[in-house]
């Protein structure tokens, strides 16, 4: 009789992602990128999608005010979509102005697919005065910002494409500032929710003793 080998499940402890962008850092880095990378990077920041997924998008994937990621281009092999609202809509509108007859891709470099841009990314970070971060940190930042903005975890996961709670939690990192804000909010709530014991109401009934005196 043969037995299947025991596969030890690796711990997620100490495997959390730590790189995040503030909005100011992000805008500064984008302004120092080559023109063809700016909308690509902004889409990554706003959608929290993976770079490979964004590279795959074609104009056939743009369906009115929604952009759809086909299953074969998604890491989890599950199709998903994101509505084109706010800056996302502006990104796609700008991309329409530079549509190329050379390619159906939404994001491209003069008709060519976007290739390795690590050198341009490192240069932009340096010019922006931002300690060099990974492009993938945009995905982590997008997830964390959605949660901080009050988006439910299930909705955030449907946008970013995370399949498990464990993987999602690795991106939704809390900081000292988050904890301070939470404790301050709790103290404010506790102060406003304090129950003040009501003063006893005056007794309006006349006692038997008072009646005899009267």
Residues 105-152 have pLDDT tens digits of: 999 999 999 999 999 999 999 999 998 789 988 988 888 888 888 887
Tokens of 126: 């340096």
- For residue 178, give the H/E element and its range: helix 176-192
Give the pLDDT confidence of 54-78 residue by residue, as tens digits: 999 999 999 999 999 999 999 878 8
Predicted local confidence at residue 135, as pLDDT: 92
> Is residue 48, in this structure, part of any structural domain at all?
yes
In angstroms, the CA 117 to CA 188 distance is 47
pTM above threshold 0.85 = no
In angstroms, the CA 140 to CA 196 distance is 45
In this structure, what CATH number is given to the domain that contains residue 164? 1.10.443.10
Predicted local confidence at residue 12, as pLDDT: 41
H helix and E strand count, the chain? 10, 3
> Is residue 183, in this structure, part of any structural domain at all?
no
Domain enclosing residue 156, as ranges: 23-175
Give the pLDDT confidence of 142-193 residue by residue, as tens digits: 888 888 888 877 788 888 877 766 656 665 555 556 556 666 765 776 677 6
> Total domain count for the chain?
1
Predicted local confidence at residue 75, as pLDDT: 84
- The residue assigned the tokens 């990104």 is 91
> Is residue 11, in this structure, part of any structural domain at all?
no
> Is residue 195, in this structure, part of any structural domain at all?
no
In angstroms, the CA 208 to CA 104 distance is 97
Predicted local confidence at residue 10, as pLDDT: 42
Predicted local confidence at residue 159, as pLDDT: 83
> Is residue 16, in this structure, part of any structural domain at all?
no
> Is residue 144, in this structure, part of any structural domain at all?
yes
Question: What own/partner pairs with CB < 8 Å and gap ≥ 24 does 53-62 have?
Answer: 53/161, 54/107, 55/105, 55/107, 55/113, 55/114, 57/105, 57/106, 57/107, 58/104, 58/105, 58/106, 59/99, 59/104, 59/106, 60/104, 61/106, 62/92, 62/106
> Is residue 103, in this structure, part of any structural domain at all?
yes
Tokens of 135: 């492009």
């Amino acid at each position: 009789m043969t037995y299947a080998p025991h596969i030890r499940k690796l711990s997620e402890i100490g495997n959390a992602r730590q790189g995040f962008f503030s909005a100011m850092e992000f805008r500064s880095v984008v302004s120092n990128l080559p023109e063809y990378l700016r909308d690509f990077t902004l889409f990554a920041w706003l959608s929290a999608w993976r770079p490979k997924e964004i590279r795959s998008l074609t104009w056939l994937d743009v369906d009115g005010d929604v952009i759809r990621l086909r299953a074969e281009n998604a890491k989890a092999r599950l199709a998903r979509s994101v509505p084109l609202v706010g800056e996302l809509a502006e990104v796609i509108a700008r991309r329409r102005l530079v549509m190329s007859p050379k390619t159906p891709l939404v994001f491209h470099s003069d008709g060519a697919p976007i290739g390795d841009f690590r050198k341009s990314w490192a240069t932009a970070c340096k010019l922006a005065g931002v300690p060099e971060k990974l492009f993938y940190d945009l995905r982590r930042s997008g997830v964390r910002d959605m949660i901080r903005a009050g988006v439910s975890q299930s909705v955030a996961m449907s946008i970013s494409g995370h399949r498990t709670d464990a993987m999602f939690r690795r991106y939704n990192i809390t900081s000292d500032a988050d904890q301070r804000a939470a404790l301050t909010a709790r103290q404010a709530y506790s102060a406003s929710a304090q129950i003040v014991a009501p003063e006893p109401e005056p007794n309006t009934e006349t006692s038997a003793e008072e009646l005899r005196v009267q």
